[in-house]
């Protein structure tokens, strides 16, 4: 009897040798059928091989090609056997919603997607009035999962409606998904799109129907080549199946969807800069108002949403707003994909209720690598202020993280142990933000390289008296309201928190015999003025 074997083919797993494992299985001569999947988020176990035994998928990992013959021969007696995958505590205790099919299905098989509950949301949605969907999403409390946390339904409600005056409808109304995912340490959207692209497409179709859009764009970074291949294939499948294109499900509603490969700039996380790039122009933030809902892509009404945000929509439509709200532990409803990289024992992704304590989230990632202590972490990407040991009881939701002076952001954490020099962390972050500045306004264009220079000198033991004060000055000069967009203020978030929690560590890097240069005196004079 043919044995079913599942091998991931997402970018993360491929980078760790999944293709060579799949080849070894095919070349083994065994009577097997290999299905390629996404990752379940257990990145420390990739490549994770799954074999169907007695009706259950049994996991083995991490697997190399040399392990394959022994696994095929010994089965569950092999030392890499993890038992039934669904019983792995790391998975079993999660509340997987948007991530429920990732690692389970063939991502480019529409039949597999439908067999696991796919398209129910869209079928339900097109039987509803568009405004009713907007109201349901608003009532659910769904907030943007890309970092800003703005209420999704409220954002949709800003879009003009033309049901009563169809003659006033503009040439096009656009739905745009931000799949650029340039936030440092963030990789959740990629794994969602690679592991379950049809969920994302179905979600985009529902959102487009709700706001009245006839054209949808997926703005995706050029480096996501594996993601692009899977999405384009899934879009083509959706067109052939009739859940994209003309007269979807016989409702009269039509939607075209296009995949746009971007040049990859951090500033495209700002929605108006993204729209400028999508139009083929320089990625520079626009003046507001007008807001995209009034004049967005090509001057037409437009909504921009993050990938993870959108992927929640079918579940809300299927199960209702109150059900979705009940998933969160506090005010914020729903689940959240949390990620961790850096000094954790088990890097990867988990999906948990919003409001789960930081300490509990870290436990899913095995705690700090090597049994060391936590020094600091970026809770949601490079632009979020640092959290430390004192914040381990913080509820990981928008209000909880905000209450301790940071932001939930993307909720993909970069974790640092107690041996990590904070100056190096801050320098690397400020280097990134200096490189990614669009250069539109002077404080950002010139101030960020200056901050990087100060931190570089501190790291090299060449700091000067007054450098700490200079850094503090920059957090004010580049703070909210001082620049055209939020790029520079975001860059100041980790710096300001670094000065707050690790001021003595940074000050200790200034040599005792250092002298104050004229530039520092001048800057201090500006500060005093």
pLDDT in tens, 72-98: 999 999 999 999 999 999 899 999 999
pLDDT in tens, 39-59: 999 999 999 999 999 999 999
- Same-domain check for residues 10 and 148: no
pLDDT in tens, 353-364: 999 999 999 999
Last residue of a domain, one of 417, 433, 452: 417
- Asked if pLDDT for residue 515 goes beyond 80, the answer is no
Q: Could you tell me the pLDDT band of residue 516, with boundaries at 50, 70 and 90?
A: low
Judge whether 437 lies within some domain. Answer: yes
- Same-domain check for residues 301 and 215: yes
If phi > 0 it is left, if psi is from -120 to 50 it is alpha, else beta; for residue 391 that is alpha
Alpha helices in 366-441 (DSSP H): 398-403, 422-436
The CATH number given to whatever domain includes residue 461 is 1.20.1440.230
- Same-domain check for residues 359 and 392: yes
Q: Could you tell me the pLDDT band of residue 475, with boundaries at 50, 70 and 90?
A: very high
User: What residue numbers bound the domain in which 489 lies?
Assistant: 422-528
- Asked if pLDDT for residue 420 goes beyond 60, the answer is yes
- Same-domain check for residues 399 and 504: no
The span from the CA of 483 to the CA of 490, in Å, is 11
Judge whether 328 lies within some domain. Answer: no
pLDDT (mean) for 399-427: 96
- Same-domain check for residues 244 and 152: yes
Judge whether 248 lies within some domain. Answer: yes
- Same-domain check for residues 234 and 136: yes
| DSSP-assigned beta bridge partners for residue 377 | 387, 415
pLDDT (mean) for 283-307: 94
**pLDDT at residue 149, as a whole number:** 86
The pTM assigned to this predicted structure is: 0.93
- Same-domain check for residues 504 and 478: yes
Higher pLDDT, 4 or 439: 4
pLDDT in tens, 236-276: 999 999 999 999 999 999 999 999 998 878 888 889 999 99
* Percentage above 90 pLDDT, the chain: 86
pLDDT in tens, 117-174: 999 999 999 999 999 999 999 999 999 998 888 999 999 999 999 888 888 899 999 9
Q: How many domains does the chain have?
A: 4
The span from the CA of 100 to the CA of 116, in Å, is 9
**pLDDT at residue 463, as a whole number:** 93
- Same-domain check for residues 342 and 383: yes
- Same-domain check for residues 159 and 285: yes
**pLDDT at residue 263, as a whole number:** 81
pLDDT (mean) for 459-476: 95
Q: Is the peptide bond before 62 cis (omega within 30 degrees of 0)?
A: yes
- Same-domain check for residues 405 and 446: no
**pLDDT at residue 182, as a whole number:** 87
- Same-domain check for residues 286 and 357: no
How confident is the prediction for the chain on average, in pLDDT? 93
Judge whether 473 lies within some domain. Answer: yes
Picking from 351, 274, 341, the residue whose alpha carbon sits closest to that of residue 305 is 274
- Asked if pLDDT for residue 222 goes beyond 50, the answer is yes
Judge whether 161 lies within some domain. Answer: yes
The CATH number given to whatever domain includes residue 208 is 3.40.50.11540
**pLDDT at residue 208, as a whole number:** 98
**pLDDT at residue 120, as a whole number:** 96
Last residue of a domain, one of 64, 91, 118: 91
Q: Could you tell me the pLDDT band of residue 518, with boundaries at 50, 70 and 90?
A: low
Last residue of a domain, one of 294, 322, 350: 322
Q: How far is CA 330 from CA 141, 327, 333, 375, in A?
A: 11, 9, 7, 27
Reported as half-sphere exposure (CB side, CA atoms, 13 A), residue 400 has a value of 20
Higher pLDDT, 288 or 199: 199
Alpha helices in 141-263 (DSSP H): 152-157, 188-195, 197-211, 225-241
Judge whether 332 lies within some domain. Answer: no
- Same-domain check for residues 275 and 395: no
The span from the CA of 299 to the CA of 448, in Å, is 32
Q: Could you tell me the pLDDT band of residue 303, with boundaries at 50, 70 and 90?
A: very high
Evaluate whether 180 touches 221 at the Cβ level (below 8 Å).
yes
- Spell out the residues 6+ positions from residue 332 whose beta carbon is closer than 8 angstroms to its own: 141, 143, 354, 355, 397, 398, 399
């Amino acid at each position: 009897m043919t044995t079913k074997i599942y091998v991931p083919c997402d970018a993360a797993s491929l980078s760790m040798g999944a293709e060579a494992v799949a080849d070894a299985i095919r070349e083994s001569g065994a009577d097997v059928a290999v299905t390629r999947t996404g990752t379940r988020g257990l990145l420390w176990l990739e490549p994770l091989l799954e074999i169907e035994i007695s009706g259950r998928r049994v996991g083995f990992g991490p697997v190399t090609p040399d392990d394959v013959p022994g696994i095929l021969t010994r089965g569950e007696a092999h030392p890499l056997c993890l038992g039934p995958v669904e019983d792995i505590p790391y998975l079993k205790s999660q509340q997987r919603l948007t991530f429920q099919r990732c690692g389970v299905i063939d991502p480019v098989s529409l039949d597999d997607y439908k067999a696991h509950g796919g398209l129910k949301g869209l079928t339900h949605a097109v039987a509803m009035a568009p405004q009713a969907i907007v109201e349901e999403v608003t009532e659910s409390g769904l907030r943007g999962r890309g970092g800003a946390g703005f209420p999704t339904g409220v954002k949709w409600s800003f879009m003009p409606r033309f049901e009563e005056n169809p003659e006033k409808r503009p040439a096009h109304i656009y739905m745009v998904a931000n799949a650029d995912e340039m936030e440092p340490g963030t990789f959740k959207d990629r794994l969602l799109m690679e592991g379950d692209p049809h969920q994302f497409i179905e979600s985009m179709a529902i959102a487009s129907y709700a706001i009245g859009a006839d054209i949808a764009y997926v703005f995706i970074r050029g480096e996501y080549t594996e993601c692009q291949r899977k999405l384009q294939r899934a879009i083509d499948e959706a067109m052939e199946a009739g859940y994209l294109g003309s007269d979807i499900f016989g409702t009269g509603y039509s939607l075209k969807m296009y995949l746009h490969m971007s040049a990859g700039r951090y500033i495209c996380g700002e929605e108006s800069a993204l729209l400028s790039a999508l139009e083929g122009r320089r990625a520079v933030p626009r003046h507001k108002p007008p807001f995209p809902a009034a004049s967005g892509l090509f001057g037409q009404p437009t909504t921009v949403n993050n990938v993870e945000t959108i992927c929640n929509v079918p579940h809300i439509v299927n199960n209702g707003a109150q059900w979705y709200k009940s998933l969160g532990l506090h005010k914020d409803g729903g689940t959240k994909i949390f990620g961790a990289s850096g000094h954790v024992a088990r890097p990867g992704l988990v999906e948990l209720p919003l409001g789960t304590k930081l300490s509990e989230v870290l436990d899913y990632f095995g705690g700090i690598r090597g049994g060391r202590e936590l020094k600091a972490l970026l809770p949601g990407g490079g632009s979020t202020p640092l959290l430390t040991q004192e914040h381990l009881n913080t509820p990981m939701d928008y209000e909880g993280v905000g209450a301790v002076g940071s932001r939930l952001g993307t909720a993909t954490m970069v974790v640092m142990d107690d041996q990590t020099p904070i100056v190096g962390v801050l320098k690397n972050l400020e280097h990134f933000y200096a490189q990614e500045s669009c250069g539109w306004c002077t404080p950002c264009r010139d101030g960020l390289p200056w901050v990087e220079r100060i931190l570089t000198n501190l790291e090299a033991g060449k700091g000067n008296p007054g450098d700490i004060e200079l850094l503090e000055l920059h957090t004010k000069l580049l703070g909210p309201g001082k620049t055209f967009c939020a790029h520079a203020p975001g860059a100041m978030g980790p710096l300001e928190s670094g000065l707050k929690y690790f001021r003595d560590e940074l000050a200790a890097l200034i040599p005792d015999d250092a002298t104050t240069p004229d530039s520092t005196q001048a800057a201090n004079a500006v500060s005093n003025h």
